[in-house]
Amino acid sequence: MNVPHGENILRYFEEHGHKLPFSCRNGCCTSCAVKIMSGRIDQRDGIGLSHQMQEKGYGLLCIARAIASSEMETQDDDEVYELQFGKYLGSVKNKAGNPFDI
């Protein structure tokens, strides 16, 4: 589908009868994650993907705007979440006791 320059990609697909995965619509989660196979998108409004993930070719459809002809594949949001946050989960050593003990 050819999404016009500057249009929100998820919204454009929805308006044309296509259902794509999403959840927050704010670029905060990874439910609408895609792998950009070619081209570029503008996703400066999202905080759900690090710059490193964006440089690896991942994007979030809910905040992405078309800026060039692109080809994308939807992704398993759990897989993208793990790539994004997995290295941090479980790496913190918790101490027993009240967190407000001084």
Inside any domain, residue 96: no
Q: Which domain holds residue 61?
A: 9-85
Q: What confidence tier does 15 reach under pLDDT thresholds 50, 70, 90?
A: very high
Q: What confidence tier does 87 reach under pLDDT thresholds 50, 70, 90?
A: low
In the chain, how many domains are there? Answer: 1
Write out the two tokens for 16: 């044309």
What is the average pLDDT value for the chain, to the nearest integer? Answer: 85
**Chain segment 49-70, per-residue pLDDT in tens:** 889 999 999 999 999 999 989 9
Inside any domain, residue 81: yes
pLDDT of residue 95: 57
Inside any domain, residue 93: no
Inside any domain, residue 102: no
Average pLDDT (15-39) is 93
Residue 85 has what DSSP assignment? H
Average pLDDT (72-86) is 86
In 3D, which of 60, 46, 58 has the Cα closest to residue 83?
58
* Residue 31 burial by Cβ neighbours in a 10 Å radius (0-12, 13-18, 19+): buried
pLDDT of residue 47: 86
**Phi-psi category of residue 97: left, alpha or beta, with phi > 0 → left and psi -120 to 50 → alpha:** left
Q: What is the CATH number of the domain that holds 56?
A: 3.10.20.30
Single-letter code of the amino acid located at 90 = G
Predicted TM-score (pTM) of this structure? 0.78
